[in-house]
Amino acid sequence: MTRTGLRIAGSRACAWRGPSDRELFRLALPALGALAAEPLYILVDTAIVGHLGTSPLAGLALAGALLTAGVTLFNFLTYGTTAQVARYHGAGEEQIAGRFAAQSLWVSSFIGVVLLVLALTLGRQAIALLGGHGDTAEQARTYLRIGALGLPFVLVTLAGQGYLRGVGDFRTPLLIVVGSNVLNVVLELVFVYGLHAGIAGSAWGTAIAQLGMGGAFVVLLARAPADRRMPSLGAMRPLLRVGGQIFVRTASLYAAFLLASAVIARIGEASLAAHQVVFQLWAFLALVLDAIAIAGQVIVGRALGAGDAQGAYASARRMIGWSAAIGTGLGAVMLALIGVLPHAFTDDPAVLDRVRAIWVLFALMQPANGVVFALDGILIGAGDTRYLMWSMVFASLVVFVPLALLASSAGWGIVGVWGALVGLIVARGATLGVRFRGRAWAVTGAVGL
């Protein structure tokens, strides 16, 4: 057999030895459950608070945007930990993998306390900056003051899920997150409808449930096998380096979402309330699609750690195909539910009118979201976070910001802002797709990070 024939046969053998679709879904399905459960905190709040009136719902939109930003900006505690742990797990270095668990616990605890202090001291100014005023601002401040108490526990949860996913344990995070959400629903119903505590009762229910969730992950992180548990800057450095790049990538994305909320807040209260409903559904479906991306992080990181670049690429292509198909299905379901689902969140005719105005854009984004989220997870799993950082900065600053400002100045309203969000997703897909096809991300070995 010729050398070329040997290379082709070897490549096919590597691809055949790669993770099957069955393994992909074995990892993705419990990740789907955990990811789908996470945004239910805000979705449950949105459904319950939405029936208290338009002002509480608009206030929740502002407070929820700030709290979600505080968590989302530091999602490197999950993604960075998963990628590194998966690499070392694939290379058989379990003690080093456990070291990342211990260090991520220290980092997440510190960041969570800092975020709590910032929310309590600068919350009023942040709400005003987003365009909150009058009763809407007061409702937002009430929710933010109480809801911020759960931030340290949510940050610890991010670190805990990152480690467990990295070693292939997707079941335990699912059980913890689902249990916490069930507790949240019960507490909210008691506080809001039983004790008539209004938006404050909704915030208390969420904060208490998050405390229990974070405590469970602290116990699990402390049990991880590790060659070092005490805080060490040297041991934290790989996490902080990757984390810094993912932070900039996430901050650029979330800055676009915050700008969208700020522009819509100045359009009117009904538009802001409609944006809250649709964006929370968008975020919910995005995390559902991210289940494939989470599986991709583990499978790609593990394959590259074991030296199988061709297997990583073959598996990644399957993930992209499945994610696009799932996104198409979700978009079709949303289109079919346009006359039903919005009523679960509000009865206000003005808000429902604005929801319907952007619903088709929201639904048609889902197939593209599937591709983008899969590519994002694949490159994170490969440790290609520097490219992710700069591609996101480009998509946000060069594409989305000009389109959003144009929509505002031209008076295109909420439809124009959501059109700008479509442009953001298209730009992300184009830049990530070029990188994936070039294969510069497929660096093998545990030292690849």
Per DSSP, the residues of 119-139 read: HHHHHHHHHHHTT--HHHHHH
* C-alpha span between 162 and 169 (Å, rounded): 10
Lowest mean pLDDT among 115-119, 131-135, 202-206: 131-135
* C-alpha span between 55 and 73 (Å, rounded): 27
430 band by pLDDT with thresholds 50, 70 and 90: very high
Give the mean pLDDT of 343-347.
84
Give the mean pLDDT of 6-16.
39
Instruction: Give 6 or 330, the one with higher predicted confidence.
Output: 330
At position 125, the amino acid (one-letter code) is Q
CA distances from 365 to 183, 243, 329, 362 (A): 32, 28, 11, 5
- Output DSSP code: residue 192: I
* 18: pLDDT strictly greater than 70: no
* 20: pLDDT strictly greater than 70: no
Backbone angles phi, psi at 222, to 5 degrees: -70, -25
289, with CB counted inside 10 A (0-12, 13-18, 19+), is buried
347 band by pLDDT with thresholds 50, 70 and 90: confident
Give the mean pLDDT of 353-369.
93
pLDDT value of residue 446:
61
Structure pTM?
0.73
Instruction: Give 117 or 86, the one with higher predicted confidence.
Output: 117
pLDDT value of residue 292:
83
Report pLDDT digits (tens) over 170-180: 889 888 988 98
pLDDT value of residue 368:
94
* 8: pLDDT strictly greater than 70: no
* 3: pLDDT strictly greater than 60: no
Instruction: Give 415 or 294, the one with higher predicted confidence.
Output: 415
Contact criterion met (CB below 8 Å) for 166 and 239: no
* 10: pLDDT strictly greater than 60: no
Instruction: Give 263 or 46, the one with higher predicted confidence.
Output: 263
* 418: pLDDT strictly greater than 90: yes
Write the DSSP assignment of 312-370 as a string of letters: HHHHHHHHHHHHHHHHHHHHHHHHHTTTTGGGGT---HHHHHHHHHHHHHHHHTHHHHH
* 27: pLDDT strictly greater than 90: no
12 band by pLDDT with thresholds 50, 70 and 90: very low
125 band by pLDDT with thresholds 50, 70 and 90: confident
Report pLDDT digits (tens) over 271-313: 888 898 898 888 888 877 888 888 888 888 888 887 888 888 8
* C-alpha span between 406 and 416 (Å, rounded): 8
Q: What angle do CA 35, 427, 402 make, to 5 degrees?
A: 110
pLDDT value of residue 364:
92
Q: What angle do CA 98, 100, 106 make, to 5 degrees?
A: 115
Contact criterion met (CB below 8 Å) for 366 and 285: yes
Computed over its alpha carbons, how large is the radius of gyration of the chain?
22
pLDDT value of residue 448:
43
* C-alpha span between 39 and 281 (Å, rounded): 9
Give the mean pLDDT of 220-245.
78
Nearest to 221, CA basis, from 169, 178, 182, 179: 169
* 420: pLDDT strictly greater than 90: yes
Report pLDDT digits (tens) over 431-442: 999 999 988 898
Two structure tokens written together for 53: 């009136």
Positive or negative, the CA dihedral 287, 113, 103, 156 is negative
Alpha helix segments (H runs only) across 51-170: 54-72, 76-90, 94-129, 134-147, 151-166
* C-alpha span between 103 and 242 (Å, rounded): 14
* C-alpha span between 217 and 213 (Å, rounded): 7
pLDDT value of residue 65:
80
Mean pLDDT score across all residues of the chain: 83
CB within 8 Å of 168: residues ≥ 6 apart: 27, 89, 298
Lowest mean pLDDT among 39-53, 245-259, 328-342, 348-362: 39-53
Backbone angles phi, psi at 97, to 5 degrees: -60, -40
* 208: pLDDT strictly greater than 90: yes
* 346: pLDDT strictly greater than 60: yes
